[in-house]
A = this chain, B = another copy of it.
Amino acid sequence: MAPTLAVSTVIFALRTDERSSAAIGARPQLWLPLVVRLRDPFDGRWALPGGPLREDEGLADAASRTLLETTGLRPNYLEQLYAFGDADRPGAEHGRVVSVVYWAMIGAEEAHLATTGQNVRWLAADRLPNLAFDHNRIVEYALWRLRTKVEYSRIAHAFLGETFTLRELREVHEVVLGKAVDPANFRRQVEASGAVVPTGQVRTGGRHRPAQLYRYDTAIEPVDLGPLAPEPQMSPTSTEETP
């Protein structure tokens, strides 16, 4: 019997814990939405949003769709993570499944508006319970990818809104990497990258000097995707023998 094909998505957003949100200076954390399984295997356990691939639907489309269905949102960033399909995956007794998993980043403003359906719940990424299938391992891998990618690319802004202060962007790095970042050096690095442009506006309100607001420079690709980049640049490198 041929294995079933499914698409799942690890959806990350930066949120402040509701319970401690009243506390001043509450650091945001990484959260992700999970859905309850309503049947075996792993009936009643939390699992990543996902489902079978529909006809005439691309893999990334399926990821976007399940994301929209579970959260009502569209992601600022979406990337394929990995295809998991070992024959001994947990739950394979009930029918083998090959999962193509995506991971996504949601902006701050949208994250507030997330519809939390009956079977959906947001949980902190570093305090997850035992999930269905091998989903704990998948989330671990997605977290690892997020962390390494934040360091060498420019995706951090995908957790923020249209405009943001460098302080906010730095906080994203600090929360994701789990360590403090020098404000002075961070500012210079970001400015030197040219990925960000000042809007002229400032954000006031703190008990301190107002901060310049920046916007992401859309002319700059956040990640180097190589030949997978948008423009499909179909490349018959040369024209030679065809047997």
Contacts and interface: CB of A to CB of B under 8 A. Distances in A.
Interface of A: 1-5, 36, 44-46, 52-53, 55-61, 80, 82-83, 85-88, 96, 98, 100, 121, 126-130, 136-137, 140-141, 143-145, 148, 226-228, 232, 234-243
A129 B240 contact: yes
A57 to B, nearest CB: 6
Contact of A141 (B88, B227, B234): B227
23 contacts: A2-B4, A2-B52, A2-B53, A3-B53, A3-B55, A5-B5, A44-B243, A45-B242, A46-B243, A53-B85, A58-B87, A59-B85, A80-B83, A127-B237, A128-B238, A129-B239, A136-B234, A136-B237, A140-B227, A140-B237, A141-B228, A145-B226, A148-B226
Nearest to A100: B83
A58 B85 contact: yes
Query: Interface residues of A: mostly helix, strand, loop or mixed?
Result: loop
A167 to B, nearest CB: 29
Contacts of A4: 2
Contact of A136 (B98, B141, B235): B235
A36 B4 CA distance: 28
A85 B195 CA distance: 31
B243 A87 contact: no
B128 A237 contact: yes
A97 to B, nearest CB: 11
A243 B100 contact: no
A55 B137 contact: no
Contacts of A137: 227, 232, 234-235
B86 A58 contact: yes
